[in-house]
């Protein structure tokens, strides 16, 4: 499974995707923008544009759009228009500046995340002293979104068997990836070469300048940590207070990252199973985590042979059931829902697992999908060479993936084939990020994080010349705002006065 997965569920639970802004209304303010130092002459007009802030129909928020070059190598060519939203610092206390937030994905709507969670759920003392700001990355949600498939086409795509048993099923899966890629090229061919993380980081620097901030203050989760680290690599002197929570490791090639993530979900499942088997009504047995894993694999195999009804137009297939289980691994608060869903499925009702899978894919009840899946693949396939060049390479990797996760290994192996037929050549490569000269950067890792394994946080903190690692001993994806006073206090102190926690600090 590739790193298109990390924050999909958090973006859904905390962001509600693209439902919160229907548009912007009358002008409320116009900000004059200082020119940024050391800006290439060709980009000066972009750094000198004016942001026209408007009421956007969500109480307490303003919206605007920002222009950026579609292709930074050709800044005199076409523009791309990017959606921005903010809410002003509430006080009391002296305003520090703007705090940009990104929920990850890639493909999660930062504007949706800001308006439905960050500007409400972040600690009051942080919101008091920062303007809370979000920009939907290029190709995402309100920022000229990548589009690939219709709703019915996506329904078919998500039901394709991701544990092929023979050559016919392998070819069917490969064809599905090809059809997905060709749909993206047909509907969004102009933007596909220009949705890389590097380009989005450059967009963030432009926004920093337009907001009047000398340095960028930022909280990024999951993929947002890769975006933040990339910003630090490009603009180390402009790094302010960067929180990178649920860190990714930029030095890993795609196949290694996928295998690590496979192991991460196995770790999370074992934690869920250990909790489940203590309960008399655990649908996976009550003896051991190994027994629970065996029973779940048997359940998946049964669905592979015969899907079950869900009360909807779609049956619960093995692929959808697997994604339903995966969805619940992101947050331990979803474990009771998963137990209920598995119990229902044992009785022939697949609706609970289907609901979890739909949340993972950001499918609406009316059968439409947010663009997260499309943007997610577009960004990942541009940022790194594909994990596998073809189906044969994926088949050869099966043993290693299944060793990393007996439960999810086969599914995650074949899911990592999705970039093999991408129509745009990748522009990025795996590499270490040091960001020499940057102010202190805070990297946060969770020991049983399924999507961004803890060792990635250790690695990123080690790579960054000014990195400090903060550890949360616990379950779930990311740590800030998840109930640990120790974590929240350390991050709040860093955001408010710039002081990172002592090296090696651990919280529970």
Q: Which two tokens stand for residue 274?
A: 């250990």
The answer to whether 299 and 342 are in contact (CB under 8 A) is yes
User: Could you say which of 449, 459, 466, 484 is catalytic?
Assistant: 449
C-alpha pair distances (Å), 456 with each of 101, 246, 439: 21, 8, 21
C-alpha pair distances (Å), 78 with each of 72, 73, 347, 463: 10, 11, 56, 36
Instruction: Please count the residues of the chain.
Output: 508
The answer to whether 246 and 451 are in contact (CB under 8 A) is yes
Q: Which two tokens stand for residue 102?
A: 């990104």
The answer to whether 277 and 284 are in contact (CB under 8 A) is yes
Q: Which two tokens stand for residue 99?
A: 């705090």
* Rounded Cα–Cα distance for residues 302 and 318 (Å): 8
The answer to whether 7 and 477 are in contact (CB under 8 A) is yes
DSSP letter assigned to residue 153: H
* Rounded Cα–Cα distance for residues 265 and 271 (Å): 10
Cβ atoms < 10 Å from Cβ of 29: 10
* Rounded Cα–Cα distance for residues 242 and 255 (Å): 28
User: Has 449 been annotated as catalytic?
Assistant: yes
User: Has 485 been annotated as catalytic?
Assistant: no
Partners of 244 in the β-ladder: 220, 443
Alpha-helical segments (H) within 195-281: 197-210, 223-234, 254-276
Q: Which two tokens stand for residue 194?
A: 């220009």
The verdict on whether omega for the bond into residue 106 sits within 30 degrees of 0, i.e. cis, is yes
Q: Which residues contact 447 (CB under 8 A, 6 or more apart)?
A: 454, 471, 472, 473, 474
Single out the residue of 478, 506, 373 nearest to residue 117, CA to CA: 478
Q: What are phi and psi of 327, to 5 degrees?
A: -55, -40
User: Could you say which of 116, 174, 196, 222 is catalytic?
Assistant: 222
Q: Which two tokens stand for residue 54?
A: 């408007």
The answer to whether 309 and 448 are in contact (CB under 8 A) is no
User: Has 488 been annotated as catalytic?
Assistant: no
The answer to whether 68 and 77 are in contact (CB under 8 A) is no
Please give the full DSSP string across 416-441, using - where no structure is assigned.
Answer: TTTTTT-SS-----------TTPPPE
| Kind and range of the H or E run holding 300 | helix 289-305
* Rounded Cα–Cα distance for residues 212 and 496 (Å): 19
Catalytic residues, by residue number, are 222, 449, 477
């Amino acid at each position: 499974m590739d790193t298109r997965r990390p924050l999909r569920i958090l973006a859904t639970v905390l962001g509600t995707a693209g439902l919160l802004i229907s548009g912007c209304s009358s002008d409320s303010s116009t900000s004059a923008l200082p020119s940024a130092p050391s800006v290439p002459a060709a980009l000066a007009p972009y750094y000198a544009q004016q942001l026209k802030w408007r009421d956007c129909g969500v109480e307490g928020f303003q919206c605007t759009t920002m222009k950026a070059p579609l292709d930074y190598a050709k800044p005199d060519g076409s523009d791309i228009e990017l959606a921005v939203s903010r809410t002003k610092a509430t006080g009391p206390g002296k305003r520090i500046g703007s705090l940009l937030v990104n929920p990850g994905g890639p493909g999660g709507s930062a504007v949706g995340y800001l308006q439905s969670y960050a500007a409400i759920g972040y600690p009051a003392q942080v919101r008091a002293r920062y303007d809370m700001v979000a920009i939907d990355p290029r190709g995402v949600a309100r920022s000229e979104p990548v589009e690939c498939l219709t709703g019915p086409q996506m329904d078919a795509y998500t039901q394709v068997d991701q544990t092929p048993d023979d050559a016919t099923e392998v070819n069917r899966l490969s064809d599905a990836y090809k059809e997905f890629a060709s749909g993206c090229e047909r509907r969004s061919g102009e933007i596909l070469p220009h949705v890389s993380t590097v380009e989005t980081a450059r967009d963030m620097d432009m926004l920093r300048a337009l907001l009047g901030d000398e340095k960028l203050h930022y909280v990024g989760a999951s993929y947002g940590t890769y975006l933040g680290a990339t910003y630090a690599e490009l603009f180390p002197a402009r790094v302010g207070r960067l929180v990178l929570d649920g860190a990714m490791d930029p030095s890993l090639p795609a196949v290694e990252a996928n295998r690590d993530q496979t192991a991460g979900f196995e770790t999370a499942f074992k934690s869920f199973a250990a909790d489940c088997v203590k309960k008399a009504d655990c649908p996976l047995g009550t003896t051991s985590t190994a027994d629970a894993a065996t029973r779940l694999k048997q359940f998946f195999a049964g669905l592979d042979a015969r899907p079950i009804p869900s009360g909807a137009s779609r049956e619960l297939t093995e692929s959808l059931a697997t994604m339903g289980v995966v969805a619940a691994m992101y947050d331990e608060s979803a474990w009771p829902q998963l137990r209920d869903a598995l119990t229902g499925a044992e009785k022939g009702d697949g609706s609970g697992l289907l609901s979890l899978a739909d949340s993972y894919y950001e499918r609406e009840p009316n059968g439409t999908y947010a663009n997260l899946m499309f943007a997610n693949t577009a960004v990942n396939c541009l940022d790194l060479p594909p994990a596998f060049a073809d189906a044969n390479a994926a088949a050869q990797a099966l043993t290693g993936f299944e060793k990393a996760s007996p439960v999810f290994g086969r599914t995650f192996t074949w899911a990592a084939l999705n970039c093999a037929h991408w129509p745009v050549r990748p522009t990025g490569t795996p590499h270490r990020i040091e960001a020499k000269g940057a102010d202190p950067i805070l990297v946060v890792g969770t020991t049983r994080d399924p999507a961004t394994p803890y060792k990635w946080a250790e690695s990123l903190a080690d790579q960054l010349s000014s990195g400090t690692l903060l550890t949360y001993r616990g379950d779930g994806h990311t740590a800030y705002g998840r109930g640990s006073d120790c974590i929240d206090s350390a991050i709040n102190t860093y955001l408010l006065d710039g002081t990172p926690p002592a090296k090696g600090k651990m919280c529970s």
